[in-house]
Structure 1
Amino acid sequence: MLVHAAAGGVGSVAAQLARSLGAAAVYGTVSTKEKAEYASRFGYDEVFLRDGFPDAVREATSGRGVDLILDPIGGPTRLASFEALAPFGRVAVYGEAARHPDLHLPVLPVWKNNRALTGYNIGDLSRRDPEALRRHALAALGLVASGAVRIDIMAECDLADAAEAQRLLEAGENTGKAVLRVGR
């Protein structure tokens, strides 16, 4: 498995979740060397700089590629992700952090190389199947409660400072999870 934004809030948890579910190898991508050092604390086999990651993944997997890529980035990163997939691998989209225009995905290469694209949107799931969202949340929180997964809170902001917290997220300057304090 490969996780883009491996040093972010989701990325710092994703490797741990994958390990607890039996993943044999977990790789990540990040934008800087500093973020690679941070992400390596969460169980990644290797963390690559995002530039040139398909080649790095193929090298790390002896040319096979990975079965699953988690992508909150979008744009060129999402398109390049298809180059790092093993047969029957899939790219799972759960965000659009880079705010690139939507992809015009050529379908023939996806089909001819046995690849897939899927999505996970928590807002849609909460509206259309809240019970499924509940099950997913309880399973994930159970792993946190058991100690199998650790959430690394790197920033706490007062609710009044939500705009600054959002700015940090949009600028890609964060590592780990940023949380807003509500009340005391």
Structure 2
Amino acid sequence: MRAIRQYAFGGPEELRLEEEMPDPHPAADEVRIRVESAGVHLLDTMIRQGRGGPRVAPSLPMTPGREVAGVIDEVGADVDPDLLGRRAVADLGAAGGGYAELAPAPSANVHLIPDDLDADSAVAMVGTGRTTMAILELAAPTAGDVVLVTAAAGGVGTLLVQATHSIDATVVGVAGGPDKVALVDRIGADHAIDYTRPGWPDAVREALAGRSVTLALDGVGGEIGRSALELLGVAGRLVMFGSSSGSLTELSAGDLFGRGISVASAVGARILQRPDGTRALERSALQAVTDKRLVPVIGRRFPLAGAADAHLALQSRATTGKTVLRP
């Protein structure tokens, strides 16, 4: 099979296409998926550099990629043979292996998907959609909320804009650059603001005409996250789900006690230590796309050989929605 291999931590150039890797075979409790789509994350770029989160324990050499969708073409000895030929999506866990034509997956991680759900959308929802469901579960937005979404043109951001718009909340989506702002506007934001322009928080205040943000959903952190927090009114809520800027949002005791702002993180330990695990979130996300309540935005599709280009695009903020590889 063809697969991306990485032998050293470092830049995108460490992602090398190998044309003749041995075909993997599933262990007793695994299935093998013939990959139609593999998800690419900003976290993947961190893993490539030797950094990562609580779920990641990379060892080299490795094939990156934690989510795949395709057709089950081989099953392990302890797995129901009726799964052969079924379309499926799976989180591969810390072991990775998704940037390849064939990927073993724990059978317990597999979700069967209907024929009319495309592989790219399934991959988007089993990972990015799962995170979105965790954010919404914690944030509990209502029709009365004024919601600010940062990085609103990203994979999670586009889903959050759709979800909060669908419950009749007032949605302000902020993103970087005119093309991204146009996308945020198309998917249902009441106000779409360019946060690369000086004074963008004032543009938000002007658009809201005296109303305060009651709920900020922030995956950027840094100065943008801090500005989002400062746009919150008294007793507002900040739910953080990332720090794509490279730093966390700076908080003070005055924010918490002086203004009564509540702050919580929807990812990290909270999502990993859920009593029922992440599988329920994955089911919820896949059901939402099956029912067409949410439609993931697939921004760029790269061939398997373009894995390094996909990483470069993510790191340079040149993507919108979900980025995928198509082996």
Q: TM-score, normalised by structure 1?
A: 0.86
**What residue is the counterpart of 1:61 in the other structure?**
208
Map 1:1-184; keep pairs closer than 5 Å: 1-20=147-166, 22-50=167-195, 51-100=198-247, 102-121=248-267, 124-125=269-270, 127-129=272-274, 131-181=276-326, 183=327
Q: Max radius of gyration: which structure? A: 2
One-letter amino acid matched to 2:303: D
Unaligned runs of 5+ residues in structure 2 are: 1-146
**1:14 CA displacement:** 1.2
Which one has the bigger helix percentage?
1
**1:130 CA displacement:** 6.3
Q: Is the 8 A contact 1:73 1:98 kept in 2?
A: yes
In structure 2, distance between residues paired with 1:127 and 1:160: 32
**1:94 CA displacement:** 0.9
Q: CA offsets per residue over residues 88-134 of structure 1, 9 Å max, x none?
A: 2122111111113x45422113321121221121x535542262522
**1:138 CA displacement:** 2.2
What is the DSSP-based 3-state SS (H/G/I as helix, E as strand, rest coil) of the residue aligned with 1:162?
A: helix
Q: Is the 8 A contact 2:148 2:228 kept in 1?
A: no
**1:177 CA displacement:** 1.2
Unaligned runs of 5+ residues in structure 1 are: none
Give the root-mean-square deviation of aligned CA atoms.
Answer: 2.1
- The 1:115/1:23 distance shift into structure 2, 3 A limit, reads farther
Q: Is the 8 A contact 1:13 1:42 kept in 2?
A: no
Runs of 4 or more off by more than 4 Å in structure 1?
A: none
Q: Is the 8 A contact 2:222 2:250 kept in 1?
A: no
Moved more, 130-139 or 171-180: 130-139
